Structure 1
Amino acid sequence: MSAALRIAVPIHSFEPGGVERVALGLCAAWQVAGAEVAVVLGRREGAMAPDAPSLNYLLEPEPIPTRGFETLWMMWRMIGYLRRNPADVIFCSGNTYAVVIAVLKLVLGRHCPPVAIKISNDLERRDLPQPVRWFYHRWLRIQGRLIDHFVGMAAPMRDEIARWVGVPDDRITIIEDPSLGEEQYAALCALPRGAVPPAGAHYLSIGRLARQKNFPVLLRAFALLADKTSRLTILGEGGERARLEKLARQLGIVDRVALPGHSNATSAALGQADCFVMSSDYEGVPAVTIEALAAGLPIASTACSVSMHGLLGDGAFGILVPPRDPAALAGAMADACVMPFDPAAARRAAAPFRLSQAAPRYLALFQSLTKSAKAAPA
């Protein structure tokens, strides 16, 4: 009998985030399939902690609070873990962990296990000033030299990764982002979906209250809508809350906007909405968009990634507009509520993004990387 595959996964904390939530779901599925999964955790705090799956979480006491320098702390944690414990492969769940992996590769050299990194965000990053963007693209090229394999979350990302990271096709694998568990997918598909009301539509957005999500653009777009009986709910928490609350007051929409904070019960919110809205400057394949499709909701979104056009069925499931344009987003929000829309087709489009589809494909990739690493000359 072959030995169980040993997978090490760095995770900063249980703070809400699509990257971490999807990663923990994958870890649970790999564990059920017989792999030995070690989640190297920076700190245990975070709103997702009560609902986190039962896994082998490896935690060391923080010498001092590490939230302000969690990336440096994770570098230290991963180097220490890998020096004491064997691992066959490292799974890097998103771009934000790439610098941790780069340091591991430089410090451990040939003793570092092979790494598969999931590209979780847009790589062109037009939101950045040109000088910063230039350095960011150089950094991507460095990643291409150090990291073994890159995973894109939807088919259009293959060309994006090849262009900006500079790696050949055999170092890129496309595995649709496993945003949905089977029970979650079934529950979202079972939500009743009637016609959007002619007035008083309920718009929903979900995400961290962070600059990347650009919720100020959403608030300004909502204020421009002709229908003053419509409502907007933004589910999420983060450092932008005070700024958003102040802006809502300035725009005179505070009585029609709800900011209830983070919630793990997004299905109920999706069931009560008439249209899903995304205002981000940049994304990868946003899990909340997949959830909205499974819930049978029309979508108004910024063109925040190369994958959005395909996700929206080339216009069948929603409307895309340029980022940072409140007037354009307002028009998309109004039009999405009256566009011809087939909820059943949207739900079928979300089906490939299920955990049950992705988990075994990741394990096959990890086995291949492990086999190649063992066959390489010492």
Structure 2
Amino acid sequence: MSKKRIAIIIDSLAGGGAEKVMLTLANELIKQGHEPHLLVLFENCQHHIEKNIPVHFCFDKKKDKHLGSFWNTKRYARRLDCWIKGLEGEVGDFDLFISNLDKANLLMSHSKVSPLYFVVHSSIEEPLKRTKKLGPIAYFKMLRAKKALNGKHLITVSEGIKQEIERVGRIVPASITTIYNPCDLEEVRDLSQESTATLPKGDYLIHVGRFAKPKRHDVLFQALKLMDNNLPLVLLCNNVKKATKIAKKYGVLDRVIMPGFQQNPYPWIKGAKVLVLSSDYEGLGMVLIESLVCQTPVVSTDCEHGPNEILTGDLARFLVPRRDPESLALKVDEALDSYPQITDIDLLKQVDAHQVCLAYLDLINQK
């Protein structure tokens, strides 16, 4: 395939999963001889970005703080479209546009650029249920962003999300396909070998993920207290202050190690005895895949999307019901005692960055 220029549009480059997988995709596109550009709404960057990936910032966080408001959407959408046209005048026309996350999706839903695909990184219904409890304004704001995907070409990062969209019918897309999140398997293995002086000296458990309600740190900390083992828990998250408060509330602060967000979490994952995921919902659960690549056992809640597509066969018994600290504690104790050999994980072939990159490039031929 000849060299293609791909625009990846996203809210920011903060330390989240969607940002990370799009950076992985960009890196793989470059490896395969293509030209990805990151079109970022706001300049907020925690991830490491390779120098050969062009990054363009569109809006000013202070001046454009009302970007998400109902009355300003079309105005900001026009500004974004004009900005993209100006950018194309500088770097050349884009062969494919990939939009990610609510703010970018809301604005890009008004755009006439083509071919344009919207990546759905997480459940549609679960965040809406949670936001409904926060009041009508917050609910309407999120609902508007989700409904903007109506009639659009969607990519879901797991079969579970695709099935949810088709089952519920809240969104009726022009097309919908699943392309799993990319994982550079070789890079994960290599990075896991890097020496990290701050690793704990003895055995430990690990949880990796931003500090947010859907990650259910409350369930995690309750399970920690119920476990027979007394191993410490390493918590790699972006908000140590809030995590400390919740750990103290559940009486496990003395067992939780919080080094904060890590650009390279893989030595931490590789060194752990078990990685624990306690979420109410996930898009796919990339940290489970990365842990298995590092040969670290995992125990996960059986979210509607992702984990049960990863933990299959013998590993399926390490899926536990959501919001059940007792079951989570029992399974972590079991995993520490005995865990199946981590080989031949079916999904690893489908998340291999090279194959995922080819799947995205195939979209160009479908315009």
TM-score (norm 1): 0.78
Tell whether the 8 Å contact from 2:275 to 2:296 is kept in structure 1 after alignment.
yes
What is the CA distance between 1:237 and its match in structure 2?
A: 0.6
**1:96/1:64 CA distance change after superposition, 3 Å:** closer
**1:270/1:96 CA distance change after superposition, 3 Å:** farther
Tell whether the 8 Å contact from 1:30 to 1:37 is kept in structure 2 after alignment.
yes
Residues 53-86 of structure 1 show CA distances to partners (whole Å, capped at 9, x for unaligned) of: 5212123572736578579798466323234334
Residues 133-178 of structure 1 show CA distances to partners (whole Å, capped at 9, x for unaligned) of: 9977786455132x1x22222344442332345547x822222210
Decide which moves more: 254-263 or 92-101.
92-101
Letter in 2 for 1:116: Y
Q: Residue in 1 aligned with 2:125? A: 124
**1:79/1:328 CA distance change after superposition, 3 Å:** same
Cα distance in 2, alignment partners of residues 130 and 118 from structure 1:
21
Tell whether the 8 Å contact from 2:295 to 2:342 is kept in structure 1 after alignment.
yes
Q: Residue in 1 aligned with 2:319? A: 320
Cα distance in 2, alignment partners of residues 77 and 292 from structure 1:
41
- Which residues of 2 match residues 150-299 of structure 1 at below 5 A? 150-164=154-168, 166-167=171-172, 171-185=175-189, 202-227=204-229, 229-238=230-239, 241-299=240-298
Residues 94-141 of structure 1 show CA distances to partners (whole Å, capped at 9, x for unaligned) of: 456422322x33xxxxx3323212221023317825967997778645
Tell whether the 8 Å contact from 1:291 to 1:350 is kept in structure 2 after alignment.
no
Cα distance in 2, alignment partners of residues 92 and 41 from structure 1:
10
Letter in 2 for 1:218: L
Tell whether the 8 Å contact from 1:280 to 1:302 is kept in structure 2 after alignment.
yes
Tell whether the 8 Å contact from 1:95 to 1:120 is kept in structure 2 after alignment.
no
Cα distance in 2, alignment partners of residues 183 and 243 from structure 1:
31
Decide which moves more: 58-67 or 149-158.
58-67
**1:292/1:32 CA distance change after superposition, 3 Å:** closer
**1:63/1:231 CA distance change after superposition, 3 Å:** closer
Cα distance in 1, alignment partners of residues 316 and 172 from structure 2:
33
Tell whether the 8 Å contact from 2:270 to 2:291 is kept in structure 1 after alignment.
no
**1:75/1:18 CA distance change after superposition, 3 Å:** farther
Q: Residue in 2 aligned with 1:309? A: 308
- Which residues of 2 match residues 2-151 of structure 1 at below 5 A? 4-48=3-47, 50-52=48-50, 54-60=52-58, 62=60, 64=62, 75=77, 78-84=80-86, 85=88, 86-94=93-101, 97-102=104-109, 104-105=110-111, 111-125=112-126, 128=129, 140=146, 142-145=148-151, 147=152, 149-151=153-155
**1:260/1:15 CA distance change after superposition, 3 Å:** same
For structure 2, the 5+ residue unaligned runs are 195-201
**1:185/1:63 CA distance change after superposition, 3 Å:** closer
Cα distance in 1, alignment partners of residues 250 and 78 from structure 2:
46
Tell whether the 8 Å contact from 1:179 to 1:353 is kept in structure 2 after alignment.
yes
Tell whether the 8 Å contact from 2:58 to 2:83 is kept in structure 1 after alignment.
no
What is the CA distance between 1:313 and its match in structure 2?
A: 0.9
Cα distance in 1, alignment partners of residues 115 and 300 from structure 2:
36
For structure 1, the 5+ residue unaligned runs are 106-110, 192-199, 370-378
**1:245/1:129 CA distance change after superposition, 3 Å:** closer
Aligned Cα RMSD in Å? 3.4
Cα distance in 1, alignment partners of residues 356 and 145 from structure 2:
28
Segments of 4+ moved more than 3 angstroms? 31-36, 50-53, 65-77, 93-97, 129-142, 154-158, 164-168, 185-188
Between the aligned residues of both structures, percent identity stands at: 24
Question: How many positions carry a matched residue from both structures?
Answer: 345
What SS class does the counterpart of residue 20 from structure 1 fall into?
Answer: helix
What is the CA distance between 1:366 and its match in structure 2?
A: 2.4
Letter in 2 for 1:217: V
Decide which moves more: 151-160 or 136-145.
136-145
What is the CA distance between 1:206 and its match in structure 2?
A: 0.3
Cα distance in 2, alignment partners of residues 290 and 67 from structure 1:
36
Cα distance in 2, alignment partners of residues 343 and 183 from structure 1:
18
Cα distance in 1, alignment partners of residues 328 and 178 from structure 2:
30
Tell whether the 8 Å contact from 1:15 to 1:46 is kept in structure 2 after alignment.
yes
TM-score (norm 2): 0.80
Residues 258-313 of structure 1 show CA distances to partners (whole Å, capped at 9, x for unaligned) of: 11101022111112111111111211102111101112222221222333212111
Cα distance in 2, alignment partners of residues 123 and 92 from structure 1:
16
Residues 234-268 of structure 1 show CA distances to partners (whole Å, capped at 9, x for unaligned) of: 11213xx3332123234332221111101022111
Tell whether the 8 Å contact from 1:205 to 1:277 is kept in structure 2 after alignment.
yes
